[in-house]
């Protein structure tokens, strides 16, 4: 059976400022914590990344040539406000006007994220979103953007609140890099960012700005490792913190009793208490029906097992398969499941998860309005031969996930578009440059772009809206292959 996606569907590509722009200190851009953090680590840095700051006309032209009708990008807060607040850097403002104009010229719809892991350093150093000052500064920055960038039709407040909180305070792979296994800070950060999101949504709606607004959540389903009730409970706890907490805040404007029960259990076992300010819920309650869409980043799922030992996490940031491990006291242990494929970075490939997630949102949060898959894709060690990149496993991955998505649409979920992560190869926060995701291969030495086999496939998909193994466009790749290799 050939599955079809809706006629008005967006077939997009996703990017994020720090991961593609480079120019980290150019034209008045202020620093972010990443600059120093990566320098200290000494493995790789965000410079020049994919040099989008200069190459954006090339990338947007490629978008058009390959039939993409959407791009997701983020504004670097510190390009606009180098210190997070105060003085505006007009060169930075102009850069985004230029990018938006170029996209418009090429008929590409733009989805703009206000914050994609890159709080200005001045605010980050004072506690990032653990400090209410950052929430106020974020609201001011959002107001400035709404007033200035009237050409933007789709805004997202945050990218992936859960990974921000966990990578900064639980796993320790994001700056500051000095904090680990701190669940209390993790939960406070989640809550404060959800409050900031609500404030910005209310500002947008009360201000009567044109366009749509939403948030991008990373949602990775949790399944029990076995039928053992203990494992079932572990999956419930992991899910409560990583999915339910955020969706409750977004769409219920409070945390449900079930979510709070899970949080109480987790905090008790880890020896701390949590409490939230009642006034925060008034703000969240006001925003809950004002989200125009939900952006979902979904790559993988987890199978969870009961675990009460000490927290111990190892992040596989090298692509050495089997090196990742994740055990959190009082929540659970995430295990590899027999028979389920995984990438070199230990991300489980489980397309059914996409379907299950969509159906769950439809049932549990019926006020969601619209969904965009704002990220999905496969990190892969692409091989580059004579300017050719045969990334068949990536095509296979996307095909399977899109098929599951098409099934969910068939079953009544309102999904309006899909943004492949990533448009071109970009810098990966904790993995550097050998974990590639792009439709377009980037030679990071000379910044040349080369369409991968998947780009030709995606072009056929965008044209026909039919999910097929190959299209005439795929044959164009084969032809080029023949010409270049004589094989």
Of residues 21, 160, 333, 473, which has the active-site annotation?
Answer: 160
What's the CA gap between 430 and 432, in Å, rounded?
A: 6
Q: Which of 202, 164, 199, 170 is nearest to 183 (CA)?
A: 170
Cβ nearer to ligand BGP, comparing 252 with 371: 371
DSSP 31: P
C-alpha closest to that of 91 among 81, 101, 106, 83:
81
| Footprint (CB under 6 A) of ligand BGP, residues 132-191 | 159-160, 163
Residues 6+ apart with CB under 8 A from 232: 224
Looking only at residues 378 through 407 of this chain, which bind ligand BGP when binding is defined by CB under 6 A?
A: 379
Could you say which residues in the range 432-451 bind ligand BGP, by CB under 6 A? Answer: 435
Please give the residues from 228 up to 287 whose contact with ligand BGP meets the rule CB under 6 A: none
Tell me how far CA of residue 18 lies from CA of 22, 176, 341, in angstroms: 7, 16, 30
Residue 125 tokens read as 């150093």
Taking contact as CB under 6 A, which single stretch among the options 28-36, 97-105, 182-190, 429-437 is the one that binds ligand BGP? Answer: 429-437
Q: Sign of dihedral through CA atoms 301, 307, 311, 316?
A: negative
Residues written for the chain: 487
Smallest distance, ligand BGP to C-beta of residue 118, A = 10
State the Cα angle at 321 between 357 and 440, rounded to 5°: 70
Adjacent-strand bridge partners of 312: 327
Q: Does 421 contact ligand BGP by CB under 6 A?
A: yes
Closer Cβ to ligand BGP, 19 or 50, answer by number: 19
* Cβ at position 297, least distance to ligand BGP in Å: 5
Categorise residue 251: left if φ over 0, alpha if ψ from -120 to 50, beta otherwise.
alpha
Q: Exactly one of 5, 10, 12, 16 binds ligand BGP (CB under 6 A); which one?
A: 16
Q: Which one of the spans 191-199, 262-270, 272-280, 422-430 is the region binding ligand BGP (CB under 6 A)?
A: 422-430
34 binds ligand BGP (CB under 6 A): no
Q: Does 430 engage in binding with ligand BGP (CB under 6 A)?
A: yes
Q: Given the residues 21, 220, 375, 473, select the one marked as catalytic.
A: 375
- Any catalytic annotation for residue 160? yes
User: Where would I find the beta strands (DSSP E) of 287-331?
Assistant: 293-297, 302-305, 312-314, 325-328
> Does 375 contact ligand BGP by CB under 6 A?
yes
Question: Considering the complex, what minimum distance in angstroms separates the CB of residue 309 from ligand BGP?
Answer: 26
- Specify the residue, 72 or 79, whose C-beta has the smaller distance to ligand BGP: 72
Active site residue 151: no
Consecutive H or E run containing 335: strand 332-335
Residues at the site binding ligand BGP, with contacts judged by CB under 6 A: 16, 19, 159-160, 163, 218, 297, 375, 379, 421, 428-431, 435
Active-site amino acid positions: 160, 375
């Amino acid at each position: 059976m050939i599955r079809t996606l809706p006629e008005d569907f967006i077939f997009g590509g996703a990017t994020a400022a720090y991961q593609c722009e480079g120019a980290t200190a150019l034209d008045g851009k202020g620093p972010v914590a990443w600059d120093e953090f990566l320098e200290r680590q000494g493995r790789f840095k965000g410079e020049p990344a994919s040099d989008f700051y200069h190459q954006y006309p090339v990338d947007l032209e490629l978008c058009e040539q390959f039939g993409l009708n959407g791009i997701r990008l983020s504004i670097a807060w510190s390009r606009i406000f180098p210190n997070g607040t105060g003085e505006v850097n007009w060169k930075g403002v102009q850069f985004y006007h230029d990018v938006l104009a170029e996209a418009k010229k090429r008929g590409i719809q733009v989805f703009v994220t206000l914050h994609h892991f890159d709080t200005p350093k001045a605010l980050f150093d004072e506690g990032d979103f653990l400090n209410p000052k950052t929430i106020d500064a974020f609201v001011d920055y959002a107001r400035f953007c709404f007033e200035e960038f009237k050409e933007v039709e789709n805004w997202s407040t945050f990218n992936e609140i859960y990974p921000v909180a966990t990578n900064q305070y639980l796993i320790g792979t994001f700056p500051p890099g000095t904090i680990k296994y701190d669940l209390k800070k993790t939960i406070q950060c989640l809550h404060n960012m959800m409050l900031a999101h609500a404030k910005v949504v209310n500002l947008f709606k009360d201000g009567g700005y044109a366009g749509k607004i939403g948030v991008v959540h990373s949602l990775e389903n949790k399944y029990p490792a076995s039928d053992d009730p203990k494992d079932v409970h572990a999956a419930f706890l992991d899910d409560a913190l990583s999915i339910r907490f955020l969706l409750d805040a977004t769409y219920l404007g409070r945390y449900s009793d079930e979510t709070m029960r899970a949080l109480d259990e987790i905090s008790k076992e880890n020896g701390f208490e949590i409490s939230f300010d009642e006034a925060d819920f008034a703000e969240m309650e006001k925003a809950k029906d004002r989200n125009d869409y939900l952006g979902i980043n979904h790559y993988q799922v987890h199978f969870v097992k009961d675990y009460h030992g000490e927290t111990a996490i190892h992040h596989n940031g090298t692509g050495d398969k089997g090196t990742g491990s994740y055990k959190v006291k009082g929540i659970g242990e995430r295990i590899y499941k027999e028979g389920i494929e995984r990438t070199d970075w230990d991300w489980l490939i489980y397309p059914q998860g996409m379907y299950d997630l969509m159906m769950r949102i439809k049932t549990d949060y019926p006020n969601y309005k619209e969904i965009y898959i704002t990220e999905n894709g496969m990190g892969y060690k692409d091989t580059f031969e004579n300017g050719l990149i045969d990334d068949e496993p990536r095509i296979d991955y996307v095909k399977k996930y899109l098929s599951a998505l098409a099934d969910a649409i068939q079953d009544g979920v309102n999904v309006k578009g899909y943004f492949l992560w990533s448009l071109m190869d970009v810098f990966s926060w904790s993995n550097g440059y050998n974990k590639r995701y792009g439709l377009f291969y980037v030679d990071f030495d000379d910044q040349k772009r080369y369409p991968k086999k998947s780009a030709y496939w995606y072009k056929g998909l965008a044209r026909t809206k039919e999910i097929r193994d190959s299209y005439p466009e795929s044959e164009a790749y084969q032809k080029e292959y023949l010409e270049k290799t004589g094989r």
